[in-house]
Amino acid sequence: MKDLPEGWVDVRLGDFAKTEKGKKPKVLSSERTEACPIPYVNIKAFEKNVIDEYTDGKGCVICEDDDFLMVWDGSRSGYVGKAIKGALGSTLVRIKFPNVNHDYAYFFLQSKFVEINTRAKGVGIPHVDPNLVWNYRFPLPPLPVQHAIVTKIEEIFSELDHGVEQLKTAQQQLKVYRQAVLNSAILGNAEHTIESVIASLDQGWSPKCYNEASRNNEEWAVIKTTAVQAGYFLDEENKKLPEDLEPRKQHELKQGDLLITRAGPRVRVGVCCLIKKTRSRLLNCDKVYRMRINPSKAIPEYIEILLNSPKYSKEVEKMKTGISDSGVNLTQKGFLKILIPLPPLSEQHQIVAEIERRLSVCDKLEETIVESLKAAEVLRAGVLKRAFEGQLV
């Protein structure tokens, strides 16, 4: 740690913080009653402020509104936040800082989250390494300086939060614009069926494969459904075919194939992409339809745009079965008889070129927004680092 300003002291966090781990109550109720009036502060209550369990408080660790809590177990271990008054859950630790500005201590713990989380211990469920946390050096300035540092951090973070909010608003506006761009392709009269432009429609093959992906073009592999994303294809999302299995070469994917997911989580069913580029020896799986387009009728880029537009996405949504695990049958007449606008091939090329131009602009804007959001987080971390080195005020 750098030399601290005059008047600051360097203390060990474990010698200063007062901590207590929560306990799971013996009695829990899904509703607040006279017998169980105390909110149970589990992870859901702590992170989302949603109370869905109550207890009688017997044998519990009670936390107050001004306490800090740290997630001690699980993927979010090391995450710190302010407490809700109630009985503390077993995966959380209550932390108190006597005679210290609580927000100063809170920001200090926030500055250590990434390190605490990435250095969690445990093979199954990770948990905070107490030797790491309680041996941190805690730079402690006089109380008036603590107040000044907190004020400055809050001022900077408020400006950052405002900027991040504007960036996220811009992201949402881009999504709306993308949908409008895709919808602009379907303004013509719908007089042809999807069936009329299809040369073939089939689904693939899902043998038992290795869990590892194939990165070698000389190896046969079968795609996972995650290879199919709305508007783009990920050929690295695959599983290697065992060498003792003869590949069913009729399912090998080619440039120009349209893929549509037919089974899986509902939000992932009906996702469509065109294969613009792929490696060799990659087979389609049985949870994905492959559609090949009659080149005399339509170009696959145009059909991809149609199927990803809000109008036709809604049509496919109506055909889905199930709620969480879902499916869709595109070989039925409901899909095949959907009417689509089908201008001449030359006009289809023009439509595709214009839409790709507009979406390319969106992609560049999205990339800039994502980079700006990352920069905001880096800046936030830098502010905290400077604060606890005595360089912020």
Of 234, 297, 221, which is closest to residue 271 (Cα–Cα)?
A: 234
Handedness of CA 67, 73, 79, 85 (dihedral sign): negative
Say yes or no to pLDDT of 2 above 80: no
pLDDT-derived band at 1 (thresholds 50, 70, 90) equals low
CA separation for the pair 229, 308 (Å, rounded): 10
148-to-309, 334, 390 alpha-carbon distances in Å: 53, 66, 11
CA separation for the pair 376, 321 (Å, rounded): 42
Position 3 scores a pLDDT of 81
Q: Both tokens of residue 266?
A: 């509902």
Position 16 scores a pLDDT of 83
DSSP-assigned states of every residue in 99-133: TS-HHHHHHHHHHTHHHHHHT-B-SSS-B--HHHH
- For 158-194, how does the pLDDT look when each residue is reduced to its tens digit (9 = 90+)? 999 999 999 999 999 999 999 999 988 888 788 899 9
CA separation for the pair 8, 268 (Å, rounded): 55
Position 267 scores a pLDDT of 92
- For 320-335, how does the pLDDT look when each residue is reduced to its tens digit (9 = 90+)? 998 888 899 998 888 9
- For 75-129, how does the pLDDT look when each residue is reduced to its tens digit (9 = 90+)? 999 999 988 899 999 999 999 888 899 899 999 999 999 999 999 998 788 999 9
Helices (H), the chain: 13-16, 43-48, 102-111, 113-118, 130-133, 143-183, 300-308, 310-319, 333-336, 345-387
CA separation for the pair 237, 209 (Å, rounded): 13
Q: Answer for the pair 237, 223: CB distance below 8 angstroms, yes or no.
A: yes
Q: Both tokens of residue 140?
A: 């402690």
Q: How many CA atoms lie within 13 A of 191 on its CB side?
A: 5
112-to-14, 46, 364 alpha-carbon distances in Å: 14, 19, 33
Mean pLDDT across 357-371? 95
